[in-house]
Amino acid sequence: MEINQLPEAIIANNTDWLIIQTTGGITQKISRANFLAGISSSIPQNTNKELIYSSDGDTNGLFYWLGTNKGTTSFSNPHPSKITLKAGNPIADLSLLADRQAAGNFYTDNVPNTWIGFQLNSGSFKCNKYSIRAREYDSSLLRSWKFQAKDVDGNWIDLDVQNNNQSVTQASQWLTLPASSTDFYSDFRIQTTGANSTGTYHITAGELEFYGEYKE
């Protein structure tokens, strides 16, 4: 019998059984184990996945997790089956941003305010950290940008803003930064707001990765 069919008064008979009186005055006997199991099954279970940053280039991020079919297979590029990578004015293959190969060589055209980003094909994500890796032989390094998420009304919300960040100084170097997100989103982008280290407006990147909480 379902536990919600035995709702009213509960009287302990002994350590193994409970006597339950229903609203119609009928008593039922149910084992304590079955009663507790019924309560447990009636409580909604949190199936969200916490993706916690450990170190640059780790295997804990969103792209890697989705690329392993949520931890059940060996890694393969999550684009385009799990995520859709996007960019304004792309020149190179977008899949390079999520292939976890050191030789990533993605870049956009030389256009101000250009961007790179991704959209989840299912579920949503609350981001608390994001990582960008420079190309393996690059000198056109990001300096000024916004990391943003699109809300349900189509507005881009700033999760992080960087102005003339000069932390990255060499090829293949990772940069991981905190993101201030209090909500779940499915569409994200990194948009330039100024010139890169060579004074042009290309976005160049070897890899992207994101950390936080995924919700199905």
Percentage with pLDDT > 90 across the chain: 74
Report pLDDT digits (tens) over 90-136. Answer: 999 999 999 998 767 899 999 999 999 999 999 999 999 999 999 98
Confidence of residue 1 (pLDDT cuts 50, 70, 90): very low
State the Cα–Cα distance between residues 59 and 20, nearest whole angstrom. 50
The pLDDT score that the predictor gives to residue 24 is 60
State the Cα–Cα distance between residues 58 and 37, nearest whole angstrom. 38
Strand partners, 9: 21
The pLDDT score that the predictor gives to residue 36 is 57
Confidence of residue 44 (pLDDT cuts 50, 70, 90): low
Torsion of CA 143, 149, 154, 155, to 10 degrees: -60
Query: Which long-range contacts (C-beta less than 8 Å, at least 24 apart) are formed by 4-10?
Result: 4/38, 4/42, 6/30, 6/35, 10/35
Report pLDDT digits (tens) over 158-211. Answer: 999 999 999 999 999 999 999 999 999 999 999 999 999 999 999 999 999 999
Whether residue 45 has pLDDT greater than 80: no
State the Cα–Cα distance between residues 126 and 92, nearest whole angstrom. 28
Least confident range from 58-67, 81-90, 135-144, 154-163: namely: 135-144
Domains and CATH numbers, the chain: 3-42 (no CATH), 49-215 (2.60.120.260)
Judge whether 111 and 150 are in contact, CB under 8 Å. no
pTM for the complete prediction?
Answer: 0.79
